[in-house]
Amino acid sequence: MRLAVVAAEPSGDRLGAGVLAALRDQYGDLELRGIGGPEMARLGLDSRCDIHDLSVMGVEDLFRKLPRALNVRRKLLADLLRDPPDLFLGIDSPDFNLTLERKLRNAGIPTAHLVSPTVWAWRGYRLRKIRKSVDHMLVLFPFEEVFYRERGIPATCVGHPAARETAALDRASVREKFGLESDEVVIAVLPGSRESEINRLGSIFAQAIDQIASRHSRARFLVPLANPRVQSLFEGILARSPIGGAITLLNGQAREVLAASDVALLASGTAALEAALVGTPMVVAYRVSWLSYWLARLLAKTDKVSMPNHLLPTPLIPEFLQTQASPPALANAISALLEDKQRLEETSEALLGIRDALNLDTNALIAQRVTELRRIPQGA
């Protein structure tokens, strides 16, 4: 199989790696072109650029990275039109991928898109572009499949691979791995995987840690950081503002950290879903530029930002947006969770229900759809 794939975010890189592994098991050999990170690179993808050059958070980030992104996309498009793959798979990153998919589809190359844009929540006008760009939407959540099918767009819910992967995580085992006592109060802190998130939330999270530690002196704070860039940024913040509390910085291992923790303080995004999948109650913070926030509010159909609150029958996750995401507010919310054991247990049970609903053979389902959609070259 000759596959072109683009994932411009670390979360998309992880998703793509699972898909490529499933396809490699099926076909034995893959010819891979496109854009991805280290996970897909290990499976043979020769990425055309560093995905952190494309990863965008907010309007200012977009303007800063846009020229580079457009140049990369233009060159990739020319290459794929000159030597067409059997199929193009775009993973998330709709602002980058949908335009690419539309042009490839117009040239007769089948296109699939994994991870729906949140058109059901905001910027619903993108449905027109999706209809012109994508042969099949591969969505992670059941309500999204219903949404697309009702609007005449082929879609399949494939579940979320993290649901099956996290089902094997055992709290006692991961606590032992990190050298934690069974009764120790552990708080996961995930300030984001993008540099822009660290810049906006890093110092706020650091101050919140300090305030939580002053109330819960025996609490341990585990901070898994997505890559060396964000780790360096966060270390710089801690160095400038020495704080109390037992803090351990870790290279990755976010799921294990979340599974080992009593509660989590995190930036809205993939981490919120992963916390839900291991049943860890959380407090979510979200900060972007005021221009980005104003545009989001103007175009939004919902006032919830974290995926668990969209998936739960009744929203249970405290969310703090923009100036609401202050150190005292975050510290108070974490302390309130720690001090209410019944609420902790009920929230954890509700979150694990999300994992049960999403625990499908995701990578096999995606590989099946890709195989059905692929273009069979003449003479093959």
**Do 2-159+360-373 and 167-358 come out as alike in CATH topology?**
yes
17 φ, ψ to 5°? Answer: -60, -40
Q: What is the mean pLDDT of residues 222-232?
A: 88
Beta-carbon count within 10 A of 336 CB: 13
Instruction: State the pLDDT at residue 240.
Output: 85
pLDDT of residue 262: 96
Q: Is the domain defined by 2-159+360-373 classed in CATH 3.40.50.2000? A: yes
Q: Please count the CA atoms within 13 angstroms of the CA of 270 that sit on its side-chain side.
A: 21
**Domain at 167-358, CATH from 3.40.250.10, 3.30.2350.10, 3.90.1640.10, 3.40.50.2000:** 3.40.50.2000
Does 279 score more than 90 pLDDT? yes
For the cut 50, the answer to whether the pLDDT of residue 87 exceeds it is yes
H/E element, 333: helix 327-338
Chain centroid to CA 268: how far? 9
Other CB atoms closer than 10 Å to residue 29's CB: what's the count?
Answer: 8
d(CA 319, CA 21): 36
Residue 65 three-state SS: helix
- pLDDT at position 9 is 84
Span 110-158, pLDDT tens digits: 999 999 998 887 778 899 999 999 999 999 999 999 999 999 999 999 9
- Indicate the pTM of the whole model: 0.76
Cβ-based neighbour number of residue 168 at 10 Å = 8
Mean pLDDT of 4-25: 92
pLDDT digits (tens, 9 = 90+) for 155-178: 999 999 889 889 889 889 999 999
| Three-class SS state of 67 | helix
pLDDT at residue 8, rounded to an integer:
86
Give the residues across from 190 on adjacent strands.
266
Sequential DSSP letters for 221-265: EEEEESSHHHHHHHHHHHHHS---SEEEEEES-HHHHHHH-SEEE
Percent of the chain past pLDDT 70, that is, above it, reads: 91
Distance in angstroms between the alpha carbons of the first and the last residue of the chain: 11
Domain residue ranges of the chain, discontinuous segments joined by +: 2-159+360-373, 167-358
Amino acid residing at 125:
Y
Dump pLDDT digits (tens) for 331-370: 999 999 999 999 999 999 999 999 999 999 999 999 999 9
- Overall average pLDDT of the 87-109 stretch: 95
User: pLDDT digits over 28-74, tens only?
Assistant: 889 999 999 999 999 999 888 877 666 654 444 555 667 788 888 99
Distance CA 362, CA 36 (A): 19
- CA count, 13 A, side-chain hemisphere, 126: 19
